[in-house]
């Protein structure tokens, strides 16, 4: 497994919770947003998103609901739960501390 893929796998939950926290959304839109916001950095098989979404839902961090769009099509929208918001806040704090520590070490190495 490549290093980038390992990093993505380790942070999938945080990325998904963050996107769903900003607005309720559905699977295809999540894929598009991940690709757009990362300028195409995140490349993965789109279907692998759904096991992650279902796992988060089972852990009661998000909630999926079928909704009818104005054009009559249905989409399963995901909403973040209170539990999910708390978990996201904790993970973001951990991530900030972690990235600050990593950056300070790597900068001193490259300086």
Partner 1 sequence: MGKAVANKLGDYLDSFKTCLKIDSAVKGSVTHELRTHLEDRSQELKETGLSEEEANKAAVEFFGSPRLIAQQIYEVHSQGTWQEAFLAALPHLLVAFLFATYYWQNIFWTSITVIVIACTVIYGWCHNKPLWFFPWLGYYLLPVIVTGALLIYLPQGWTWVAALAYLPLALFTIIYIIKQTASRDWLYVSLMLAPLPVACAWLLALGAGDEFLTANVHLARLQPNIPWIALSFLVLAVATFTFTRVKQRWCKVATLLIPVSIVFASVALAGSRNIGFWGWLVLIISLFVVASPAWLQSRA
- What residues make contact with partner 1 under the rule CB under 8 A? 26-28, 31, 45-48, 50-51, 54-55, 58, 66, 73-76
User: How far is 33 from 30, CA to CA, in rounded Å?
Assistant: 5
- Shortest reach from residue 84's CB to partner 1, in Å: 16
Contact call for residues 57 and 63 (beta carbons, < 8 A): yes
Residue with smaller CB distance to partner 1, 67 or 100: 67
User: How far is 20 from 36, CA to CA, in rounded Å?
Assistant: 15
- Shortest reach from residue 37's CB to partner 1, in Å: 17
């Amino acid at each position: 497994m490549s290093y980038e893929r390992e990093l993505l796998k380790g942070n999938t939950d945080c990325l998904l919770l963050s996107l769903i926290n900003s607005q309720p959304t559905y699977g295809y839109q999540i894929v598009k947003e991940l690709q757009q916001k990362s300028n195409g950095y995140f490349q993965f098989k789109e279907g692998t998103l759904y096991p992650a979404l279902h796992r988060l839902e089972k852990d009661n961090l998000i909630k999926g609901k079928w909704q009818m769009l104005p054009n009559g099509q249905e989409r399963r929208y995901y909403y973040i739960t209170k539990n999910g918001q708390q978990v996201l806040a904790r993970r973001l704090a951990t991530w900030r501390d972690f990235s600050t520590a990593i950056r300070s070490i790597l900068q001193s190495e490259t300086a």
